[in-house]
Copies of this chain bind each other. A is one copy, B any other.
Amino acid sequence: MKLLQDKVIKEGIVLGNQVLKVDSFLNHQMDPVLMKEVGAEFARRFADAGVTKVLTIESSGIAPAIMTALELSVPMIFARKHKSLTLKDDIFVEKVYSFTKQETNEITVSKKFLSAEDRVLIVDDFLANGEAAFGLARVAEMAGASVAGIGIVIEKSFQPGARLLAEAGYRVDSLVRIASLDEGKVTFVEQA
């Protein structure tokens, strides 16, 4: 997605050779017009996938996910990283390890919002090691739902998440794929 590549080049800040900081438009300050375009692009790419629910995880996934859900005319669900006091129903719980934060979160989704009839599109802001995406996929599958695909805003292709998800049989579609952050510079994977 050209618009997003341009934004990454213009505003992304490379920290070391692992971390791309995009807090001016994606995960702290957000550009709403860009989020709308991201939603439209995911909706276009997954138009034929029979999506019934969009599933993400708090917090940075919420904006791209709600825009995607709006375009697809389906509900969006965000998994919580911490149990809510007012979320006392039966819940699906999955452990997800965050390499960035070096902590394990228990992500939760209320059982009443996912069923065996659902085809779930997972949306998230970043894909690195794939822990969050695998966790969300396991939650969908616990409900008996099928995973229609995984839509990622920025994939760090030099980390193993995308490959591991593809090997596990998931359809992964990333709007921007980064081959390397070496030498303080963003290099994209050549995309068709």
Contacts and interface: CB of A to CB of B under 8 A. Distances in A.
Interface of A: 15, 19, 21, 23-24, 28-33, 35-36, 58-59, 62-63, 66-67, 69-70, 73-78, 80, 84-87, 100-101, 109-110, 112-113
- Copies of this chain, whole number: 2
Given A77-B28, A80-B28, A110-B28, A15 B86 contact: yes
A174 to B, nearest CB: 19
Given A30-B76, A59-B59, 16 more contacts: A21-B86, A23-B86, A24-B112, A24-B113, A28-B84, A28-B113, A30-B78, A32-B67, A32-B69, A32-B74, A32-B75, A59-B62, A59-B78, A59-B80, A62-B66, A66-B66
A77 B30 contact: yes
A151 to B, nearest CB: 15
Contacts of A28: 77-78, 80, 84, 87, 109-110, 113
B101 A29 contact: no
Contact of A85 (B66, B78, B86, B101): B101
Contact of A76 (B32, B112, B113): B32
Contacts of A24: 112-113
Given A59-B80, A78-B59, A86-B21, A66 B67 contact: yes
A33 B69 CA distance: 9
